[in-house]
Each structure stands twice: as structure tokens, then as C-alpha cells.
Amino acid sequence: MAFLPGGRDALVTERKGRLLLWHEGKPAQTVAGTPVVAYQGQGGLGDVQIAPDFARTGTVYLTWAESGRGDTRGAALGRARLVQGPSPRLEDRTVIWRQVPKVTGAGHYSHRIAFSPDGQFLFLSSGERQKFTPAQDLGTNLGKVLRLTPNGTAAPGNPFAARGGISAQIWSYGHRNLLGLKFDADGRLWDLEHGPRGGDELNLVEPGRNYGWPLVSDGDNYDGSRIPRNATRPDLAAPAISWNPVIGPGDFIFYRGTLFRFWRGHALIAGLVSQGLVDVAVEGKTAREVARHDFGRRLREIVEHEDGTVWILEDGPAARLLKLSPR
């Protein structure tokens, strides 16, 4: 979900491929011109963000899962111009980035978008597609955080630019399934990612660092086989905080408003498995959980409105859009 300037309208993606233009107090409209998505498993229509220059250009960015040859799929990033009115639509939609290579399976696309505070760069999370080893391979963009220009090319000055090709896109590597990607008030980039059976992580993302997957984790494989813990490899970037049992994160924000002063500067995580809001205080390069607020439902998305209210999208066929404001 992404609010448009003014805050009375927002774009909302649904996994089956529908893009909605939501209006406060009015029925939502279906936006035409969306891509054909590979709706299977965790795949479908993914993130939506407005461009930093949206007020001038109307440009929006979308991610989705697309089919390839044979039984393969991969994430794609595209941009288009949003035309509002009685029949909203996307025009001039163009694919500007793809996961390489496309692989079998239908999980761990990640494909979350975050623009740098100055609006000059587009950061993108790219999951390892449940294939483990690509996360350590600098010749693919799976299991990585990528730093791109707004037109989808590798940004200049990236850590592995000298290697050329796909490697030039990479900002950090050794990631699993990153469903949150956000900048804090100090301009630092953080990711929120799913561990296996245990080991969900909040990470401070720094250029060129290796975040360890699948070499280390604070969880174990689903078949019960043990994975060495993060503490055994001090040469690899350790999470700021990890969870075992998992919280199953959907997305997160760094709260910047003043309506909820006790949340200011905190990471607020929408929890799927935890079925609630997880409040995390960041202290330098580490973090600690402060509280959990039980909703009794799987929470998929969380967005802060410009007025400081917090909006949450539930997960599932009967999902609701919730607005949190002080009593």
C-alpha cells in the first residue's frame, strides 16, 4: 500500500494481480493496465511505491512474479504513469529489472522497494527463491539487496561494480526472504527478513556486507537439520535482533509521527505468525523488542500516513484495512 500526495487516496496491491485505487470514504477503483502475474504460492502482484517525483510525473513502481520458460518464475520491477479519474489506468508500463536467473518454485520473491531519502536511488530486495546457495553467489541477483537508479540500472559506486554485469547491482548479499526494506530517520537502510524454522531478522544493511544465509542463521532447516548460529561467524554481519520462535514479518515502518510519541523512532512490524504489531526499539546497530500488540489476525502491511496515523492491511481473503489513531 502506498498513499498518494494529500493522503486521501492510496494504491493497494492484491496478490492475484489486482491494483486498487483506494479513496477515503468512497469505493475503491480497479486500476487497468497491470501486468499478468504468476499467481502461485507466494507469487503474484507485490509491492507498490510512488516515485519521488510523482507529483510532477505520476510515476509509480510495481513488483510482481512473472513466468519464464518451462516451469520457472522470477520477480520483475516495472514503472508506469498513473492516470486517475473515472477509469484509472497505468500507461507506458515498462519492465526495468528482473531476477536472474528465473528458477522453479513459487516462493521468496521478496521484491520490496525503498527509495533513498534523497530520491536518487532505488533499493530493491531480491529473495533467494528458496534455493539457498544463490544468496552467496555474486553472479546472480537472488538473495540480495540491490541499489539501482530509478530507471532500473545498476547505480554507480556499488560495492561490486568492478565485476560488471549482475554483480554491479548488488549492495549486500547473503539474504533469505526480505519482506521489509526501510530507511530510518538517520538515513540508514534496514531490512526485515524471514528465517527458516526460527531466525527472523532485522538487519542494518551496509554496503558490501555478507548477511550469512544459508551459512548461518538463528533458526534451523524445516527438516530439522541444524544451521550454525550467527555467533559462530563473527566475519559475517549479525542481525540487530532475531526471533525464535518466528514472528513471520509482513512489513515494517520506522514511526516518525507525533500522535504516538512512545513509538517515535521505533520499528513497528506487522506480524503474520505473531498476528499482531511488534514494537522494536533501535539502539545504534542493535535492537530490542519492547512490546507486542495482539490483533488476533495475520497482518501483512503497515504504512504511516502523513498525519501520523498508522494503517494496517490484514492478510487473507477477508482482509480489512485498519486505521490506528490515539484514543
Active centre residues (catalytic):
108
Q: Side chain identity at 117, as an amino acid letter?
A: P
Q: Write down the residue that cell numbers 548460529 correspond to.
A: 229
The rounded distance, in Å, linking the Cα atoms of 277 and 65 is 27
DSSP state of 220: B
Residues 11-16: contacts with CB within 8 Å, 24+ apart? Answer: 11/48, 11/50, 11/60, 11/82, 12/48, 12/313, 12/321, 13/45, 13/46, 13/47, 13/48, 13/62, 14/44, 14/45, 15/39, 15/43, 15/44, 15/45, 16/44, 16/45
* CB 77 within 8 Å of CB 88: no
What is the number of other CB atoms lying within 10 angstroms of the CB of residue 32?
A: 12
The rounded distance, in Å, linking the Cα atoms of 270 and 261 is 19
Can you spell out the DSSP letters for 62-88?
EEEEEE-STT-EEEEEEEEEEE-SSS-
Whole-angstrom CA distances from 231 to 192, 198, 216, 284 are: 19, 15, 9, 19
Whole-angstrom CA distances from 62 to 8, 15, 115, 200, 242 are: 20, 12, 13, 25, 29
Query: For 184, phi and psi rounded to 5 degrees?
Result: -90, 180
Closest residue by Cα to residue 78 from 63, 68, 57, 99: 63
The rounded distance, in Å, linking the Cα atoms of 161 and 159 is 6
The rounded distance, in Å, linking the Cα atoms of 316 and 314 is 7
Closest residue by Cα to residue 195 from 125, 244, 135: 244
